[in-house]
Amino acid sequence: MNMSASQLLVFGIIIITLILFVWNKWRYDIVAVSALLVLTVAGFVPADQAFKGLGHPAVVTVASVLIISRALINSGLVDSLSRKLVRTGGSRPWKQVAILTGIVALCSGFMNNIGALSLFMPVGIWMSRKSGYSPSIMLMPLAFGSLLGGLLTLIGTPPNIIIAAYRAETAAAAPFGMFDFLPVGGIIAICGVLFISLIGWRLTPPRVKQDSPEELFKTGVYITEVIVDEKCKFSGQTLYNLFSAVKDAADIILVAMIRDKKFIEMPPMHKVLKNEDVLLIESDSESLQALLDITCLKLAADTDWKREGNEITEKQLTLIEAIVAPESILTGKTPIELSLRAGWGINIIAVARQGQKLKQQLGKIRFAIGDILLVQGNNETLPSNLNELGCFPLAHRGLRIGQPRKIWTAFLIFAIALAAAAFKLLPAGPALAGGAVFMVVFGLIKPGEIYKSIDMPVIILLGALIPIGGALENVGGPELIAGWLLGISHQAPVAVIIAVFMCAVILLSNIINNAAAAVFAAPVAISIADNLGVCADPFLMAAGIAASCAFLTPIGHQSNIMVMAPGGYRFGDYWRMGLPLTILVIGCAVPAILWIWPLR
């Protein structure tokens, strides 16, 4: 099939865009906007239409869902559900996997996938360590469960919202309703959760060394800085005297000393301590606390005092272990660059990364997704500050999130918004936007949190890709791709064509953002249906499901990236459970789609 010059140019720009997505040197929203500008300059996107994608119903709906998700988390609704249900998990791994994966899948059908996963990751780590097995057995099932849950409803995942919008715009039909995805998505989710619970978790490698119940939520060994000041009773004494005093209470290793800005590795134990000496020590959190209590050493970054009027009062400080989530503003930055102490009131006490000991000064460590941080701050402001930084707590005391007294308020607002969309009293976009507004009015989300809860890179990505998809349609790109796929299928039965189409979209979704995969797949689905002379609904449904099933790589979805470091997974670990799960999804989806969504 010959391609015109316009098609070659548009396909070339899109292929380069996909390569840049995979390369991941620049963030995907920047890449998408750059591609949009190139297509606009080239004349394939009208200049007055270039940024209309930001007002597209799918974009508004995705933003509303993200706001509502944050409000539900703040209310304590999901947290309350989790704490009640995890008690039934028992001690057997498959039961715990089944309970938690099922809960995550259910929650992901009605809120952001990442939000649901972030709430249940600490529970999964706690349950696995309490039972004495590796957290890696639990975390990948939770990530995959969050993806499966997104298949249940219109708002479960951005691909469903995009597919519904394309049905209205291109297939000359009403958009899919709130629960139109449930029959097929429910079958797939149930089969997927059963597979993960009974077989899948056994395919995950135990990458992380398991901790005993007594070491609950110890995330590893840390390199910590402590300072000798005038209050330390060991000032003027030797290092040997200091460490002899704590040898029975703490497991401490001296890594280095900093004196007068000079770094001294493995200083001799007969060296005499002076005021302002900084010691780099290797310890866990309990040993660190014992050292501080016995010796009166201070954390190097710690000034425990603040001035209130004319009085000096001690802060109420607390220690929390937290994980750096995807899209956290910490990623790629150091504590010094972010002014965490001065600007946020947070001390970074220690850092652990995928079981590796970071033997460098804390102020110079560049944070990465999945880093485990031991942080200190005021117990009243620390949780909200961590949330704004894009971190969530791993310690059990951090599991009580939100204000339980507002649970019913959040539930009623959300239920009314869902009902308005489900019974078609309002389109999904306005109904959910209204729900988001009422969440703000009733104090379930602060005005300052609104824009922080919206994943702006995803919003910009969608706003840019929608006109890019329009440019592809204008040059006949979907028809061309549909012809190629039909040629590969060799006039096979429709079931085979759907399966081949799903395989192509799944492969795409495993290397680029799932919303981007849906934008490119939706017009192709309609073109295939037009070529076959059948209804487009089965192919649109297949596109939505396939775009949400990124089980083969860690880069396919943020949920997969989030569990990579805490679970100690390697890039090649995901396909072990992901490949059979993908085959199961296709095997369940094709007959279910053809049964529920007839071709004529």
More confident residue, 598 or 123: 598
Task: Provide the pLDDT for residue 449.
Answer: 80
Q: What SS3 state is found at 578?
A: helix
Residues facing residue 360 across a β-bridge: none
Tell how strand 298-299 and strand 222-227 pair up: antiparallel
Q: What SS3 state is found at 581?
A: helix
Nearest 5°: the CA angle 493, 506, 480 is 60
Nearest 5°: the CA angle 24, 28, 29 is 155
Tell how strand 356-357 and strand 346-353 pair up: antiparallel
Q: How many other CB atoms are found less than 10 A from the CB of residue 360?
A: 14
User: What tens digit of pLDDT does each residue of 214-229 get?
Assistant: 443 344 556 678 888 8
| Residue pair 132/122 in contact by the 8 Å Cβ criterion | no
User: What tens digit of pLDDT does each residue of 370-389 get?
Assistant: 777 878 777 777 877 887 88
Say yes or no to pLDDT of 84 above 70: no
Give me the domains of the chain, ranges plus CATH numbers: 57-171+192-210+407-453 (no CATH), 218-299 (3.30.70.1450), 305-394 (3.30.70.1450)
The residue among 277, 288, 275 whose CA lies nearest residue 230 is 275
Torsion of CA 343, 344, 349, 350, to 10 degrees: -100
Q: What is the pTM of this model?
A: 0.75
pLDDT confidence of 479, banded at 50, 70, 90?
Answer: confident
| Residue pair 472/101 in contact by the 8 Å Cβ criterion | no
User: What tens digit of pLDDT does each residue of 298-336 get?
Assistant: 877 543 333 333 333 334 556 777 878 766 889 888 887
Say yes or no to pLDDT of 41 above 90: yes
Say yes or no to pLDDT of 551 above 50: yes
Task: Provide the pLDDT for residue 102.
Answer: 93
Task: Provide the pLDDT for residue 296.
Answer: 83
Write phi, then psi, for 208 (nearest 5 degrees).
-100, 135
User: What tens digit of pLDDT does each residue of 155-183 get?
Assistant: 999 999 999 988 887 766 788 999 999 99
Cα 462 from Cα 547, distance rounded (Å): 14
At 118, the amino acid letter reads S
Torsion of CA 41, 43, 46, 51, to 10 degrees: -40
Say yes or no to pLDDT of 583 above 60: yes
pLDDT confidence of 581, banded at 50, 70, 90?
Answer: very high
The residue among 421, 436, 459, 437 whose CA lies nearest residue 56 is 459
Cα 517 from Cα 465, distance rounded (Å): 10
Say yes or no to pLDDT of 104 above 50: yes
Cα 445 from Cα 529, distance rounded (Å): 43
Cα 78 from Cα 75, distance rounded (Å): 8
Q: How many other CB atoms are found less than 10 A from the CB of residue 15?
A: 10
Task: Provide the pLDDT for residue 304.
Answer: 38
The position carrying tokens 């995330």 is 219
**Pair of tokens at residue 526:** 């309609």
User: What tens digit of pLDDT does each residue of 303-312 get?
Assistant: 333 333 333 3
Cα 336 from Cα 471, distance rounded (Å): 45
Task: Provide the pLDDT for residue 397.
Answer: 39
The residue among 455, 553, 597, 600 whose CA lies nearest residue 163 is 597
The one-character DSSP state at 272 is: B
More confident residue, 65 or 452: 65
Say yes or no to pLDDT of 23 above 90: no
The one-character DSSP state at 409 is: H
pLDDT confidence of 143, banded at 50, 70, 90?
Answer: very high
Which of 253-257, 351-355, 488-492 is the least confident region? 351-355
